[in-house]
Chain A
Amino acid sequence: MNLADILSRCGMATLILALLLSPFEKAAAQWSIPEELRASLSALNDEQVEFVSSGAALEFIPEWQLEHELATRDADSLRTLVDDLMSVAAEMGYDPNRDMGATPLNLASKRFNKGKLPTPEPLRELKRDAGPFSVHRYLFPTSGVPTFAGAKVAIWPEDLVAGKVDVAIIGIPSNAGSGRRDARNGPNAMRAINTIAATDQQSLVEPHEMLSVVDYGDFNVDGMSTELTVDHVTDMVAETAETGAIPMLVGGDTSMLYPGVKGIAKARGSGTFGLLQLNAHPDSERFDDHTVSDRSAMFLLLNEGIVNGNETVQVGLRGSALDVDTLQWLRSKEVRYHTMAEIQQRGFDEVLQKVIREVDKGPDAFFVSIDVSVIDPGDMVAAGRIVPNGLSIDEVTRAIRHVCAAKDIVGFEITDLAPMLDLSHLSVINANAVLNACLVGIAVRKAGLEPDYVHPLVLDHGQR
């Protein structure tokens, strides 16, 4: 059986259709073969001509090179090239007789679901009354077991309820996705270098005075599979939100954006809150061969209607996945996106005002998410998916603090800090500064102050 037989059986139209549905639909649709090169098509049979002139080949070869090959190759060599390209085109998709379509697991394992079940109450050895508790011996501790924001520890939902907890900070030490790895150490690194939740120097609000904050431990992940992690994290985030506490999630790689936001939606309803996302990466891959990953986290949230595109604001986009098709898709979903190119053109302050207006027009409730890659490597070298030319830590914290103070925050998530990649620890300090910006914002709002309130004592020394 030769290629022509296969194609006549398969139907050229289907092959072309499949390619036109691919991410290269646009490039393929716009290209047409230059008039002066049409003569070289005479070397090809009908199917080959159709493949070339439809633009289907452009998924595999740049336009300029295809034109160059058409202009310079002899008939035999051109036929070989087009045949080979048609062959790879036919191999692109899933073949159930060739490819593994689902990864088998060890069904004989006695630990198949281990780690996804919090210890049932009768098996907990320590009996204690519900409520957050301190890990310190001293009334005014300066060191000891590290916790997020130096906060008390809570373990069970009843601890959150009994302590009327406002904010539960939670680690999700996932370590998959497409970045340089080490996100699993993010939560503990941020616990260990706790530089936050002190008196806010702008408003003089004391976060711990205004809010009941706890370290709610980590949610377990399956280190070998994001797919086997998302349901548990979704359920645990939802359970936390249902107690009335605001989950502040610390990743973990950015695939955890999906269960983080989905968990809040499970507790409060899909489409009931807006999403502010600061990220260098659009994470809107529509054609991923995995059912969930960092690359597709935003796509899943928008595609499943967990958040509405017109209530989603993305800031700082500049990663390599930011191509024409992705931007057009975001636009078609009515996402309010702001690339670094826009910020460089307009200046950060102008774009920030635009972002604030867009957030103001959205629902009262907002989820704030940041992938630390949005921050410039100068301030955040330990970003898992690092991209140069980002926002400064000052710009990021101003934006987050404002939104967390202006809106009813239903959840916060910081992802993709890979602390071992920064020997200076600066990245961890700045990651904590980002978390602190939202925590302070929530405290300022609870204190009944305007989002950008500045205490008169700090604005001016008052001496004549």
Chain B
Amino acid sequence: MASDNVRWVQPIWNIEMKNVCVAAAAALFVSSTTVVLASDEPVDTPEHVVGEQAYPFDSNDPREEDDKPPIELPDSVAPKLALLTPQELEFLKSSDARDFTGPIEDTIETLNERTPEEVQAWVQAMQQVVNHNHYEEGRDTPNIQLNTSSPRFYAWRLQRPRSMDPAREAGPVPLGRYDGDGGPPTFGGHPLALSKEDLIAGEIDVAILGAPLNMGSGWRDSGQRATAELRLISWPLGSADQYALLNASKILNIVDYGDVAVDNDNTERSMSHIREIVREIASTGAIPMIVGGDHSLEYPNVAGLADVYGKEKVSVIHFDSHYDAWWGGNHLIGHGYPVYRLINEGHVRAEDYIQVGLRSRGPDKSGFKWMREKGMRYHNMGEVEVRGWDAVLDRVVAEASEEGRKLHISFDIDVLDPAFAVATGTPVPGGLTMREAIPIVRRLCAESNVVGFDLVELHPALDPTYKTTLNSTHIIKACLTGLAMNKEGIDAKHYLSPLSSEHAIDDYYGEQQKYLDATKAEEEKEEESEE
């Protein structure tokens, strides 16, 4: 068969292939025991769209619902309306028309400026725009057709059979020859794991997963660069922490879980696979840390956690200069929509959302009103301006640590001030400093019940200094330190090592003895545990 006979729509040979070999593939998918699939979890959740199904949830945006009554036009403009049909007149009075005409005074002014013929053309043009903008069956395609006749349709996410490589036992794989060092760069120099079996065999606490998704994130470079450069500059992820005086990599079993496959020409298509890999990690009890790509990732990350821990059982704290609960465009996912979509599909309750650092141009009044009515705890930079960071910090940590919460931390690096993180898709000045960000992340990971973490929207090429990447790794490190503290049972409010945070050589702050006692108590506890 010559390649130029390939047709996008139903090539003759492909019908046969579809009927026969797809049946084989489907049968294999269900029954094969020889192939290790990405996950043994079922994929029959309603949001897993197959074939050409429509979105299975209500997609109306309640914040856009019209409750504005029609306007009443004075008799004085009646001559101007002479040529309008009853439908056109009704439209002119409706709230749809007010998107164009503004308040009633403006409508009257515009009518007075125009002849009846011009008024009719004006109303018809508004109707044309409204009709054009709505989806219309038969005129508009309800979806984005993929080239299903491609013989490589599934290749982008097809996993390499283990049998193609030399046999090895399951578990984390060190890549270097010097006690694991000296190999290709991994997150923090931690060993590599590629399957659920590796995670289980290694009793892994934290699996760091690169996610090079970058379709939706403002100005940007490749997502691959984010995950690669995070690995290059990730030595902090394997190193000791001076605030708590511990080394997370000695307390937690941490692995680099490789990168998840994404389709950077179609965010929606990437979602179900990312969710599957996150679910795979979480189902072993490990904490998935998803790093790199755009904030669309929050949707599959949290949905994957909800698959494991149950619907509406996971809380999310969303660090971001944007609230990412936009909705109502033609697409169902993008880096501005994950929060709304998670709530819309019932993975997370709105009241289990905490937002920190908001300061972008939106949301508007209706967005904040919606958050308040839904019970979302939002903390924009205005609150920080009034109360000061320390007060907001304590309030946020208290909310996130409420009894019974399982917490996912979604950290968009644009919550940081561009002075600290210029290499991001949509930076907004006036954000957090690193001295604010490190403690809050460390405290949350130590004091709350964290089950997932992501760090997103890193675009290293936009910062020639590597500063943004370095700061990103220190945010991740702050969480690793916190998780290690939590595992060690150090979950007291705002714990810092009494040895490192005070020299206690004099009584400058009047607390010398307190620090000396606390240090001694820790030493005794350590000696006990060594015995």
Contacts and interface: CB of A to CB of B under 8 A. Distances in A.
B89 interface: no
Contacts of B161: 81, 84-85, 87-88
A143 interface: no
Contacts of B264: 176, 178
Given A96-B50, A105-B332, A112-B133, A332 B147 contact: no
B28 A111 contact: no
B164 A61 contact: yes
Contacts of A184: 219
B147 A93 contact: no
Nearest to B35: A87
A332 B143 contact: no
Interface of B: 1-4, 6, 8, 13, 16-18, 20-29, 31-32, 34-35, 43, 49-55, 58-61, 64, 100, 118, 121-122, 124-126, 128-129, 132-135, 140, 142-156, 158, 161-164, 167, 214-216, 219-222, 225, 264-269, 272, 327-332, 334, 461-462, 464
A98 B50 contact: yes
B147 A228 contact: no
A119 B132 CA distance: 11
A96 B51 contact: yes
B55 A81 contact: no
Given A3-B34, A93-B21, A100-B146, 10 more contacts: A2-B31, A10-B20, A10-B21, A14-B20, A25-B1, A93-B152, A103-B143, A106-B327, A288-B150, A293-B265
A177 B478 CA distance: 35
Contacts of A288: 147, 150
Given A10-B23, A90-B25, A122 B144 contact: no
26 contacts: A1-B27, A10-B20, A11-B20, A22-B152, A77-B163, A80-B34, A88-B35, A92-B151, A93-B21, A93-B153, A97-B51, A98-B43, A100-B272, A101-B50, A102-B51, A102-B143, A106-B332, A111-B328, A113-B133, A176-B215, A181-B219, A222-B330, A225-B266, A290-B146, A332-B4, A420-B461
Given A93-B17, A180-B221, A332-B2, A107 B54 contact: yes
Contacts of B24: 6-7, 9-10, 15, 90
A103 B269 contact: yes
Contacts of A95: 22, 25-26, 29, 154
Contacts of B464: 423
Highest count of chain B CB atoms <10 Å: which of A107, A225, A421 = A107
A117 B6 contact: no
B35 A289 contact: no
Interface residues of A, number: 93
Contact of A111 (B2, B151, B221, B330): B330
Contacts of A278: none
Given A6-B24, A100-B50, A224 B334 contact: yes
A184 B53 CA distance: 31
Contacts of B43: 98
A333 B152 contact: no
A105 B143 contact: yes
A5 to B, nearest CB: 9
Given A106-B332, A111-B328, A287 B4 contact: no
A106 B330 contact: yes
A109 interface: yes
Q: Is the interface of A mostly helix, strand, loop or mixed?
A: loop
Highest count of chain A CB atoms <10 Å: which of B21, B54, B145 = B21
A123 interface: yes
B170 to A, nearest CB: 16
Given A106-B59, A112-B135, A84 B149 contact: no
A418 interface: yes
Nearest to A109: B330
Interface in A291-310: 291, 293, 303
A83 B156 CA distance: 21
Contact of A225 (B26, B214, B331): B331
A329 interface: yes
Contacts of A103: 143-144, 146, 266, 268-269
Contacts of A180: 221-222, 225, 461
A35 interface: no
Contacts of A1: 27, 31
Given A6-B24, A106-B330, A99 B153 contact: yes
Nearest to A295: B265
Contact of A108 (B17, B60, B126): B60
